[in-house]
Amino acid sequence: MSEGVIYFIFVALIGGVVGYLVGKSSCAKRSSCNEGEKGTHELHIDQREQLNKESIPVSNEPKEVGKKPKTLLPEPKGEGKENLQLIKGIGKVSEKTLNDLGIYYFEQIANLTKEEVIWLNSAIGAFPGKIEREEWVAQARELAKNSK
C-alpha cells in the first residue's frame, strides 16, 4: 500500500478512538446521570432543556396551497414559447417545470395573483417565497412589455 493510504487509515483509526473516548467520558459520574431503556445513556436535564428550546414547533395547520392559475396552457401557441430563463432565478430545471405546468410566456407570469404565486411556489417545489423574493412577476412584466 502507498504511504498516503496507510497514513489515512492511521488518522481515521486515531480519530475514531478519540471520538469514542470523548463520548464515553462526557459523563464521568454515571451514577449522577439517568439511565434510559436498555442501558442507554440519556442526556443531562440541562441539555434536554436546551434541546427543547431549540426545537422547531410542529404545526398541524394545513399548508397554504393557493389557487391554480387560470392562464395555464396545454402547449405553447403557434409562435413557440419564450425563454423564461431571462427571468433571474429561473434556470433550465425551473423553466422545464414551468413548461410542464403550462407556463410558457412572460405574460402568464406577469399576470399571476398572490394566490396563484403561492400555488406556483408549491407546485414547482421552490423554497417558500422564492418567486416573490426574486421578483419573478415584476421581471416578467418588464420582459412582456419589451417582447411586444
> For 111-143, how does the pLDDT look when each residue is reduced to its tens digit (9 = 90+)?
999 999 999 998 888 778 899 999 999 999 999
- What pLDDT is stored for residue 61 in this prediction? 43
Q: Is the pLDDT of residue 65 over 80?
A: no
Q: How far apart are CA 132 and CA 134, in angstroms?
A: 6
* Domains of the chain in sequence order: 3-54 (no CATH), 84-147 (1.10.150)
The better pLDDT of the pair 29, 120 is held by: 120
Model confidence over 67-112: pLDDT tens digits?
A: 888 888 899 988 899 999 999 999 999 999 999 999 999 999 999 9
Average pLDDT over residues 6-20: 78
Helix (H) or strand (E) holding 143: helix 136-147
Phi-psi group of 76: left, alpha or beta (phi > 0 → left; psi -120 to 50 → alpha; rest → beta): beta
Give residue 32's identity as a one-letter amino acid code. Answer: S
Distances, alpha carbon 69 to alpha carbons 38, 64, 91, 101, 115, in Å = 55, 15, 21, 10, 8
pTM for the predicted model, two decimal places: 0.56
